[in-house]
Amino acid sequence: MKFASKVWKLLVGVKDALALLFLVMFFGLIYAALSARPAAGSVEKGALLLDLNGVIVEEKSKVDPFDLLLSGEAPTREFQARDIERALRLAAKDDRVKVVVLDLSRFMGGRFVHLRGIGAAMDEVRKAGKPVLTFANAYLDDGVQLAAHSSEAWLDPMGEALIAGPGGNMNYYKGLIDRFKVNAHVYRVGTYKSYVEPYLRSDMSPEARQAYEDVYGTLWEAWKADVRKARPKARTDELAANPAGMMKAAGGDFAQGAKAAGIVDRLGDKTEFERRVAELAGKSDDDDLPYAHTRLATWLAANPEKKPGEAIAVVTIAGDIVDGDAGPGQAGGDRIAELLDDNIDEDFKALVVRIDSPGGSATAAERIRRAIQRWRDAKIPVVVSMSNLAASGGYWVSTPAQKIYAEPGTITGSIGVFAVIPSFEKTLADFGVTSDGVRTTPLSGQPDLLGGFTPELNELLQASVENAYGKFLAIVAKARGRTPQQIDAVAQGRVWPGAEARRLGLVDEMGNLDAALGHAAKLGGVGNGKWHAEFLGEKPDAFTSFIEQLEAKPQDDTAAYDFAGLVAARQQAQAGRALGQLEGLLGMRGVQAYCLECPPLPGAGVKAKNLPLVRGLAKVAGWN
């Protein structure tokens, strides 16, 4: 028996050694590929091709190789909005670019503020006398917004163009929680702090409905105004209100209906579209595409950003604000605080804080706020630029600024906090499991997730949340020159559109990142001198750089989405949102300053690390 045991241990050791050897070889091959990757190709006179097969974001996420291995598939590709804008503005002035092409065949979406800025850059290209063409098999709201700014919007004859508008349903878990007798302990401050409502209710509260209607209504009007300005003759209202009627009027042909509505200009498949581009850009003998072209990654590499004059630092706070070193793509409190502290003595004339975040951990938000405040204390001007979202914790970190810029499509406010912790004593009691013991104090053994919470613990947790809210109010009141009572009147967890936030005194000016940078340079004493923006952050690691290099390579056009395929792909965003709500109940997070009303990024699906939980839930629910 001992001999068999020794043999078994030997076999296990050999297996472990082979597994380790395989991993070493695997990452060795990756390192070799990274080291040997070719330099970006040269610019070809013809078309600038923006193959937007992914989502448009404020900041690209860091690629985690272990998540990549776990998922077994490539991550959703991300494009930084400012990179696309810069590429378009360069194209407007560069004689090598004859035409700009936006391939939206696999476009997974973006938020309004980013798309509005890209649309304005497309307009600059057209004003320079250069055509801008878009192509897609299906256009949804964000694709329609980009296509509106083109000189020729193409749609496949088998395709569709539909307008849904912001909004939709969300899940409420009160019935599920009651069914399994889970005790969802919810602690919150704020009448409008609706993040916790799915755990307490089976439907939307009147207060939450009012907040949603105001925010989504403003976003909807802003979207229509942007599209209407770019395409005055487009019948967007009619298509949005009665899509079935418009398609019926077009004989049931969705593509013809889209053309009749003025959403697209020409119908043709990919081959016909490429022939049209070749007429404008010139032909190419390349097997890749029949027209001369340069892709986005190559174009940016060939046009590195110039850095004249004085430097204005820009720190990006994008994604959920979380504790620790997470990011980029997530705003890890420690990472961003260290980034700010490491650069405070680098002779920057000013700091611009670029925010695109729905908030998150109150502790991490305060860590970031204190780091920004240290720049103010060092007599360095600080200006905030709000992108799509600067809500809850995203507003918390904006408070040290001397001036806050927002845009009409910005969602901000949501000044409120909450905490959610479940316990399962009632669930276990149904199976005959009870608990008993000895306590020396009311907090002994607490929080007891299996035996239940004591009244004293509940009281302390609610007091902790109220204390955090009081600090939030005090910080905002001091920053805005108001009393806590005045801020409380416009807080209570309610979200506000950018223009309304300005009227209420939560925001100072309407303007984009360029406006914030210009004001920061003025505060920094640059005057009429030259200056440039210096985005703080680590350079991409080798693995992330390797993944990004794939953007410069030809893509497989067989992956293009029709309407049904595009909708199915974007359903992952809904799955990710639902999973996020369940994680909010089960994830045991601390006090949160987070905005539920803030719309999710289209195309943002379930992360690889969450796949086991998704599959487990699917198994429990009996899903295939």
DSSP-derived secondary structure for 543-589:
HHHHHHHGGGS---GGG---HHHHHHHHHHHHHHHHHHHHHHHHS--
Amino acid letter at 183? N
Joined together, the tokens standing for residue 452 give 């239940």
Candidates 602, 603, 610, 608; CA nearest to 580 is: 610
194 neighbors 597 (Cβ within 8 angstroms): yes
Q: Tell me if 223 sits within 8 A of 240, measured CB to CB.
A: no
Distances (CA, A) of 372 to 25, 184, 189, 244, 412: 43, 36, 26, 52, 19
Cα–Cα distance, 216 to 156 (Å, whole number) = 31
553 is catalytic: no
Per DSSP, the residues of 472-501 read HHHHHHHHHT--HHHHHHH-TT-EEEHHHH
Instruction: Quickly list H helices, 202-242.
Output: 206-230, 236-241
For residue 387, indicate whether it is catalytic: no
The dihedral of CA 280, 285, 286, 290: what is its sign? positive
Count Cβ neighbours within 10 Å for each residue of 172-196 and write b for 16 or more, e otherwise: bbeeebeeeebebbbbbbbebbbbb
Distance CA 194, CA 494 (A): 9
Judge contact between 457 and 214, C-beta under 8 A: no
CA nearest neighbour of 333 among 372, 384, 367: 367
Integer Cα distance of 186 and 175 in angstroms: 16
Active-site residue, selected from the candidate residues 193, 259, 403, 607: 193
Of these residues, 105, 361, 387, 392, which one is catalytic? 392
Give the amino acid at 238: E
DSSP category for residue 38: P
**Phi, psi torsion values for 351, nearest 5 degrees:** -125, 130
Asked whether the beta carbons of 417 and 188 are under 8 A apart, the reply is yes
For residue 79 the two structure tokens come to 């494009």
User: Alpha helices of 320-392 — where are they, by DSSP H?
Assistant: 333-343, 362-377
Query: Residue 538 gets which letter from DSSP?
Result: P
Burial category of 73 from C-beta neighbours within 10 Å (exposed 0-12, middle 13-18, buried 19 and up): exposed
Q: What radius of gyration, in Å, describes the C-alpha atoms of the chain? A: 26
Q: Is 347 in contact with 313 (CB distance < 8 Å)?
A: no
The DSSP code for 503 is H
Residues known to be catalytic? 193, 392
